[in-house]
């Protein structure tokens, strides 16, 4: 698996491009990170000729999907939405087993990577906020999150 790394200037340029195309400007960095993770897990990355274009298009598509999902959920009658949120017993058991597997995977991570990933995913902290709190670069935060997310994805696949 080849390492695909982008320098800070390229990353910032991609964030600006995405900002011009998405609805919520504050989500551009997160959209780009998600697109980058998709690229990293893409089985035939060698077929991606223009990585920056791929990342921007993927980030925009993720934003469009999120928007459509939000619109759809807003249109559903409240009583249907409420019923849809009540899980079945087997879904609860599957979710518990999945959660246990994620906890086991988190325990396998480097403590710093785990802390950074949890700050982002559970506390909804932006990369910039995490970097400031831990007094590290934003690039280091991005790498920890990418590393942790990629590991957990593979960990869950092996389940």
Average pLDDT, whole number, for the chain? 84
* pLDDT single digits (tens) 10-32: 888 999 999 888 877 678 888 99
Largest CA distance in the chain: 49
**Boundary-marking domain end, from 86, 101, 122:** 86
**pTM assigned to the model:** 0.47
- Where residue 91 sits, what CATH number does that domain have? 1.10.10.10
For 35-81, the pLDDT digits (tens) are: 888 888 776 655 778 889 989 999 999 998 888 888 877 777 555 55
Q: Residue 77 burial by CB count (10 A; 0-12/13-18/19+): exposed, middle or buried?
A: exposed
Q: Which contiguous run of DSSP H or E holds residue 7?
A: none
Specify whether 54 is located in the same domain as 104: no
Q: Are 41 and 147 in contact (CB under 8 A)?
A: no
CA dist., res. 50 & res. 12, Å (int): 17
Q: pLDDT band at 2, cuts 50/70/90?
A: very low
pLDDT of 1: 40
Angle between helices 28-41 and 51-75 (to 10 degrees): 120
**Is there a single domain that holds both residue 75 and residue 95?**
no
Q: Are residues 16 and 65 in the same domain?
A: yes
Tokens for 62?
Answer: 């993720």
Give me the pLDDT at residue 27, please: 83
Task: Give the per-residue pLDDT at 79.
Answer: 56
Last residue of a domain, one of 86, 110, 130: 86
Number of domains present in the structure of the chain: 2
Final residue belonging to a domain, choices 37, 52, 86: 86
Q: Which domain holds residue 30?
A: 1-86
């Amino acid at each position: 698996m080849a390492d695909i790394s982008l320098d800070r200037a390229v990353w910032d340029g991609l964030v600006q491009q995405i900002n011009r195309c998405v609805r919520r400007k504050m989500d551009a960095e997160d959209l780009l990170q998600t697109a980058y993770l998709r690229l990293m897990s893409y089985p035939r990355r060698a077929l991606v000729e223009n990585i920056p274009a791929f990342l921007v298009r993927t980030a925009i598509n993720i934003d469009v999907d999120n928007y459509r999902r939000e619109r759809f959920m807003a249109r559903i009658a409240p009583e249907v939405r409420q019923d849809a949120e009540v899980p079945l017993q087997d879904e609860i058991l599957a979710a518990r087993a999945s959660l246990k597997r994620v906890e086991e995977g988190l325990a396998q991570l480097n403590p710093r990577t785990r802390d950074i990933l949890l700050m982002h995913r559970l506390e909804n902290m932006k990369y910039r906020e995490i970097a400031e709190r831990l007094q590290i670069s934003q690039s280091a935060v991005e790498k920890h999150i990418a590393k942790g997310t990629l590991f957990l994805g593979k960990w869950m696949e092996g389940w």
